Amino acid sequence: MRYSIFSDQVDVSLVEAKCYEVGATDVKLAPRIRQVFCELLPEQAAKLQGYGFKVKEIKSIKTAQIMVPVEEYGVTEVGLNITDVFGAFRSAFTPPLTGDGLTIAVLDSGIRKTHFAFVGEKIVYEEVFSEAETPDDVYGHGTGVAYLAAGGVHGDVNAGVAPGAKIMNLKCLNDDGEGTDEMVVAAIDRVCDLVENARAGGKSLTDPLYPNVINISLGAEDDGDEDSPVRVACRTAVDEYGLQVIAAAGNGGDRPGTIMLPACDPKVVAVGGLLSDYFMIWEQSSRGPTADGNIKPDFVVWATSIHMADNTGDTAYTVKSGTSFSTPILSGLIGLIWELGRRNFGDPWYVSWYDVENVGEAVCVKPKDAPIQKDNTYGYGMPALNVMIKGATQPAVTTTDVVSMMMPMMLLMMVVPMMGRMRG
């Protein structure tokens, strides 16, 4: 059986040595995350536990998507086209915002990099961490995720939230959309390694090879184990490497306690899903609390009938639903706000969703019947762009000022003209 072995007390090299000492085979390291993966017999695993190490069986992990059956529609004849929403927002600034300077590591089923949405130097890094032979998206999930975050070019009919951002393609699922804890941790470890390499090379946060966000549109059941390998890896990525880890809440609603791992972890930004034609929660969006009692999700974004690039052809588009696709919308959005802040305050200015959470109740919106405070259905709610813009353009904004700016709700108003076009 395969295990992850790690310790909070000793160096990973000592953990590795002890694994060999008890007879472990097929030993592999995730050095930045400080985990060792190996094959062990039950008695060998017990011996390592006796040393005080944490010994965890490797579990499976999958995409968090719900596929929406659709016929062959034209490119813009069905679904919520993110371009229609964010294209207008980006164009409201001179020069237009594009998310330039943001690099998103997409941990998924791969990406069809020959797709028109990824031409040029959009994808700056690729690596496979599953048993798949290539980083291409055979399964049909990662292409859509990457597109929604950063696909296309500003001004095109089809573009993601932050088309000026860069993408790292870390394929941690196989061609059936399945993977393991080990594959995901190995991919997170590599992202941390890329951060360390960028730091050592004196690169700025806006360098294409300096990843800022990890997008995880996949997950497993939350078993309440805060020491699960993936949760430990996510916390290390956040605490030691300054990464934002943004993960799908899951599609297990509307029952309480259905938030997936790793979105269940307090250090991971969990994204739930809204209906795309009404401002209310999608019935299949997972709800909190988590197994260890935390309120989740953190934010909610559109999740149903989303128009996106498809892996079946270089000009193919499709419509899908799921919190898998809410997640990259939030990943891309932080790039627009960050870019706007840099324009006003210079390159040292930085913002993350963890910063937003500190004032979440003041910068997000919910339906009138939802609790004002963070709750287990909407979290803080849907980020209100007009409020976030204010924070990125004025040095001092008090809580009272922020609350007073809630009324326009620019982001929601952008959706109104599209309501008649929703189908599926």
Q: Which two tokens stand for residue 31?
A: 């050095």
CATH number of 2-58: 3.30.70
- The b-or-e profile of 234-252 (16+ CB within 10 A means b, else e) is bbbbbeebbbbbbbbbbbb
- C-alpha closest to that of 281 among 377, 208, 200: 377
Total count of residues recorded for the chain: 424
Alpha-carbon distance of 372 to 65, in angstroms, equals 29
Q: Is 228 a catalytic residue?
A: no
Q: Which of 100, 108, 175, 265 is catalytic?
A: 108
- C-alpha closest to that of 385 among 327, 326, 336: 336
Q: Which of 115, 141, 154, 307 is catalytic?
A: 141
Residues 6+ apart with CB under 8 A from 375: 295
Superfamily of domain covering 61-365: Peptidase S8/S53 domain (3.40.50.200)
- C-alpha closest to that of 161 among 304, 299, 327: 327
Alpha-carbon distance of 362 to 10, in angstroms, equals 42
Please state the φ and ψ torsions of residue 15, each to the nearest 5 degrees: -60, -45
Please state the φ and ψ torsions of residue 59, each to the nearest 5 degrees: -120, 165
Q: Is 331 a catalytic residue?
A: no
Each domain of the chain, given as residue ranges in start order, spans: 2-58, 61-365
Burial class, 330, CB count within 10 angstroms (exposed 0-12 / middle 13-18 / buried 19+): buried
Going through 183-249 in order, the beta strands assigned E by DSSP cover 213-216, 218-219, 244-248
CA-based angle 206:299:357, to the nearest 5? 65
Q: Is 108 a catalytic residue?
A: yes
User: Helices in 201-228 by DSSP H: which ranges?
Assistant: none
Per-residue pLDDT of the chain (424 residues; tens, 9 = 90+): 999 999 999 999 999 999 999 999 999 999 999 999 999 999 999 999 999 999 999 999 988 766 555 544 333 445 789 998 898 889 888 899 999 999 999 999 999 999 999 999 999 999 999 999 999 999 999 999 999 999 999 999 999 999 999 999 999 999 999 999 999 999 999 999 999 999 999 999 999 999 999 999 999 999 999 999 999 999 999 999 999 999 999 999 899 999 999 999 999 999 999 998 888 999 999 999 999 999 999 999 999 999 999 999 999 999 999 999 999 999 999 999 999 889 888 888 898 999 888 878 878 889 889 999 999 999 999 988 665 555 555 554 333 333 333 233 333 333 333 332 232 2
Alpha-carbon distance of 264 to 294, in angstroms, equals 8
Alpha-carbon distance of 163 to 339, in angstroms, equals 12
Q: Which of 4, 276, 286, 324 is catalytic?
A: 324
Q: Are 398 and 391 contacting, i.e. CB atoms less than 8 angstroms apart?
A: no
Alpha-carbon distance of 252 to 234, in angstroms, equals 22
Query: Structure pTM?
Result: 0.91
317-320 and 306-309 strand pairing: antiparallel
